[in-house]
Structure 1
Amino acid sequence: MNIKKGSKSLLKNLNRSIVINMIREKGPISRVVIAKATGLERASITNIVNYLLKKKLIKEVGQDKSSGGRRPTFLDINYNHKTVCGVKIEAERIIFGLTNLRGKIISRSEEKFPRGSKSQEILELIIKNIDRIIKSTNLLGIGIGVSGFVNLEKGISIYSPILNWKNVDLAKPLKEKYRVPVFISNDVNTLTLAEKWYGAGKKYKNFICITVGEGIGSGIVINGKFYGGAIGGAGEIGHICININGPKCRCGERGCLEVFASDYFLIEEAKKAIAQGKGEFKKPTPKELLQAAKCGDIVAKDIFKIMGRNLGIGVKNAVNLLNPEAIIVGGERIDAYSFFSPAFKEAVKGHSFPEEAKKLDIILTELGEDGWIIGAATLVIRDFFKLPL
């Protein structure tokens, strides 16, 4: 943390932020250590700590050993004082989670809806479920992850091909109803945030989180900070072109990575195999294909292998462009990771610049499916603590 002693005109806000973040990062911690680390006067520390204790944002959690005199009392964040609602909107379901201020899930639920439902219908489902899960809780705010382009400042889903949304205002009606901060972000970016704070990304300053499933997306962290681009649209790796003469993507372009490595590719290849009487699967679905692969079906295994190679070719472009320390792979289709990962890793490392490939880690997300809602909730938590990432 870069710590600066604030001027008198900024003492209250700046120094409270310094102290609460020192407690968040280093807690449990004593007042004496906070004073030494921040350079703030003991009297200022006392006033700030008393304020935070009164607001129940921090708590006293025990005493340190002392060589003599009064033993110093430890302070820590009162992580359970407030709750946060994290929401992930998918093509046919919404995942809801209630977390504490540490991102720990308190409760989790889902609501399914027909594909192609109108945005107003989905918003009504969100409100119905939030009403249910926040009863008797001290709600701090609501965070929502949704696919596609998002206007972060206004909380508007600008464009989501999966949901067929254009300019859907999610934040305004929720702010008006619940009177709490509401943050909307691209869903892969929320997962990336969760992995950075609590999961596989904690030890890296430069990494790309790739998600594979119905779509393909990525979140980017550079020098320890999330990179969103000029309008928050960075990371749409699923729509980089790897074959200009390839099939048409739902975004309207041809040859996007998504048509060669997402569930769309698996379904189309399964359909071809079934039409030719090949394979031991009867339905052209990713789950059916995976089950066949687990039973040793060569055709199913080959489809996953080709998918992995295609994905790797797309990802190696990002590796050559950004030179990350790690590629963290997540999303629904990691259930088939053992079948596509060898070809994926070979394509990434085999086609990236050798020096970059040698030092590149390729690993799985640690938080699994919960990462989506933990990340959405962390949008609120991050703002609460006023952190840069």
Structure 2
Amino acid sequence: MRKGNAGYIKNMNQKMILKCIMEEESVSRANIAKKLSLSKPTVSTLVDVLLEDEWIYETGNGEASTNGGRKPVNLAFNPKKAFIIGMDIGGTKVAIGITDLYGEVCVYRDFPTQDHLERDLFEVIKDQVEMMKEELKIDDTKILGVGVGIPGITNIEEGMVKEAPALKWNRFPIRKRLQEIFDLPIYIDNDVNINVLGEHWKGVGRNKNNLIYIAIGTGIGSGLMINGSLYRGSTYSAGEIGYLVTDRVHAKNYHPVYEGYGFLESIASGSSIGNQLSERLGKAVSAKEAFELYQQQNKDAQEVIDFAIENLALGIANYVSLFDPELVILGGGVSGSYSVIRKQMMNVIERYTPETCEVVQTTFGKESGVVGAVALFLKEFDTLIDI
């Protein structure tokens, strides 16, 4: 056997053992050997390495066997072995958090994007991270790296934002700018891509390998997980559901080149709903206020939102027909009104799809982007943790 092969097998066995300990929460060496069909000496040797490197720790004695004898020592994963910075740079706010290796958000900050976008955005990001590190009493030696979500088409290999209308970025070298303030590994992707990873890791999409996450906010975007893997497309622009054309008549007068957004989001996003109703009422109305008026049976609000929901549901129906997912998860500001629009939306989806698909609201709160960015980092960075 070549040395390279032996090293590879050792690394894979370590990953399997660590994953087993993470899943079981507390488990003995003997049970690890039995579950993974590995020899007891192999498990014992690799466990010793994991203990020395502080990936795991001993929790005390487990239950003795029926034959009596010494009680086995159980092992548990150490989620504070290291930390990860998760960052979601949105058009409205920048959310930053530091999590442990279980994805538990230990400290969180956010601030308005537009207040700093064209002045000192990266300086503020650096300052916020420094304050969080001080709060946790850790330094960069305890941080594995940084995961980042961006609301736009992102070339993950180059670390380049190809287009992000909400940030007014075109061909923006985001990784290079972040490397100026962080001497750490940095991974970047589209914000809805990181959200589908977060849902699969810690959200309502756990144990499901075919997922669609749709974010409905300033724009409309989606992340696709197919057979357990994130699908990005040949130019990293897969999932741009906002560009779907769901109404041929209205599409005739639409010019996406001028708007910077796609057809569906021009009529069904949160900002579009607010803008359309504002024009009708002659005053500024937010999406949240539009849904409040909708529930009060305001005629203008009902017409705008009914049209938006019909088109959104048609877009989702097309997705369900094409990808046959186990679950569709809705996130973003408009998803907060899902209970109001659910029946109308499902009527349309079920009418136009060959198979029924469950559509649910995300259970994540403001920390969703942070958890998703951390999930991205753990997926891409070569570590013993395999999520």
TM value normalised by structure 2: 0.88
Determine if the alignment matches structure 1 residue 363 to structure 2 residue 360. Answer: yes
Residue of structure 1 in register with 2:70 after alignment: 70
- 2 CA distance for matches of 1:134 and 1:159? 31
User: How far apart in 2 are the matches of 1:254 and 1:245?
Assistant: 15
Give 1:144 deviation, angstroms: 0.8
Aligned-residue offset at 1:384 = 5.3
Task: Provide the C-alpha distance between the structure 2 equivalents of 1:167 and 1:387, rounded to a whole number of angstroms.
Answer: 33
Cα separation, partners in 2 of 1:26 and 1:175, compared to 1, 3 Å = farther
Distance 2:276 2:337 in 1: 16
Alignment of 1:245 onto 2:252: yes
User: How far 1:212 moved relative to its partner?
Assistant: 0.5
Instruction: Say how many residue pairs are matched.
Output: 373
Report if aligned partners of 1:248, 1:254 keep a CA contact under 8 Å in 2. no
| Number of the residue aligned with 2:372 | 375
Contact 1:304 1:339 (8 Å CA) reproduced: no
Could you list the per-position Cα deviations for residues 286-332 of structure 1 after superposition, in whole angstroms to 9, with x for gaps in the alignment?
Answer: 13223333444343234222211110111111111111122111111
Q: Check conservation: 1:161, 1:251, Cα contact below 8 A.
A: no
Q: SS of the residue aligned with 1:109?
A: strand
- RMSD (CA atoms): 2.4
Q: Which residue of 2 aligns with 1:322?
A: 323
Question: Are residues 254 and 91 of structure 1, via their aligned partners in 2, closer, same or farther at CA, if it must alter by over 3 Å?
Answer: closer
Matched, 1:174 2:215: no
Quote the sequence identity (%). Answer: 28
Q: State the match for 2:89 in structure 1.
A: 89
* Distance in 2 (alpha carbons) for counterparts of 1:7 and 1:88: 39
Paired with 2:302 and 2:149, the residues of 1 have a C-alpha distance of 32
Are residues 222 and 266 of structure 1, via their aligned partners in 2, closer, same or farther at CA, if it must alter by over 3 Å?
Answer: same
In 2, Cα distance between the equivalents of 1:185 and 1:254?
19
**1:255 Cα deviation after fit:** 6.3
Asked whether the 8 Å contact 2:156–2:188 carries over to 1, the reply is yes
Provide the rounded CA distance (Å) in 2 between the counterparts of 1:84 and 1:35. Answer: 30
Code of the residue aligned with 2:35 in structure 1: it is A
1:9–1:369: structure 2 CA closer, same or farther, 3 Å change rule?
A: closer
Q: Which letter does structure 2 place at the counterpart of 1:127?
A: K
| Matched AA of 2:33 | A
8 Å CA contact retained: 1:157, 1:165: yes
Tell me: CA distance 1:190–1:78, structure 2 relative to 1, closer, same or farther (3 Å). Answer: same
The CA deviation string for residues 10-63 of structure 1, in whole angstroms up to 9 with x for no partner, is: 344232222222222333221112222333332222221111111111112232
Shift of 1:251: 7.1
- Pairing 1:188-199 to 2, within 5 Å after superposition: 188-199=192-203
1-structure distance, mates of 2:316, 2:241? 8
Cα gap change, 1:303 to 1:116, in 2 (>3 Å):
farther
2:273 is aligned with 1:266: yes
Matching residue within 164, 186, 189 for 1:185: 189
CA-to-aligned-CA distance 1:181-239 (integer Å, 9 cap, x gap): 21111111111111111111114222211110101111111222222222432111111
Q: How far, CA to CA, are the matches of 1:92 and 1:234 in structure 2?
A: 23
1:36-94 C-alpha deviation (Å, 9 max, x unpaired): 23333322222211111111111122322113112122222101222211111111320
Instruction: Name the residue aligned to 1:257.
Output: 264
Residue of 228, 232, 239 corresponding to 2:232: 228
Q: Does 1:200 align with 2:199?
A: no
Tell me: CA distance 1:251–1:329, structure 2 relative to 1, closer, same or farther (3 Å). farther
Partner residue, 1:279: none
Q: Is the 8 A contact 2:90 2:113 kept in 1?
A: no
**AA paired with 1:180?**
L
**1:57 and 2:58 are equivalent in the alignment:** no
Taking structure 1 as reference, are residues 222 and 60 closer, same or farther at Cα in structure 2, changes over 3 Å only? Answer: same
Q: 2:148 aligns to what SS in structure 1?
A: strand
CA distance in 2, matches of 1:302, 1:69: 75
d(CA) in 2 for partners of 1:343, 1:272: 25
Residue 95 (structure 1) shift: 0.8
Q: Distance in 2 between matches of 1:39 and 1:153?
A: 38
State the match for 1:45 in structure 2.
43
Partner of 1:291: 292
Q: Contact 1:308–1:342 at 8 Å: present in 2 too?
A: no
The reply on whether 1:132 has 2:139 as its aligned counterpart is no
Provide closer, same or farther for how the CA distance between residues 292 and 34 of structure 1 changes in structure 2, counting only shifts above 3 A.
Answer: same
Structure 1 match to 2:352: 351
Q: In the alignment, is the contact (CA less than 8 A) between 1:91 and 1:115 conserved in 2?
A: no
Task: Indicate the residue corresponding to 1:278 in structure 2.
Answer: none
User: SS of 1:134's equivalent?
Assistant: helix
For the pair 1:156 / 2:153, whether they are aligned, the reply is no
Q: Relative to structure 1, is the Cα distance of residues 123 and 220 closer, same or farther in structure 2, using a 3 angstrom cutoff?
A: same
Aligned counterparts of 2:325 and 2:208: Cα–Cα separation in 1: 9
Residues 129 and 253 (structure 1 numbering): CA distance in 2 closer, same or farther, change over 3 Å?
A: closer
In structure 1, the gaps of 5 or more residues are: 1-5, 276-281
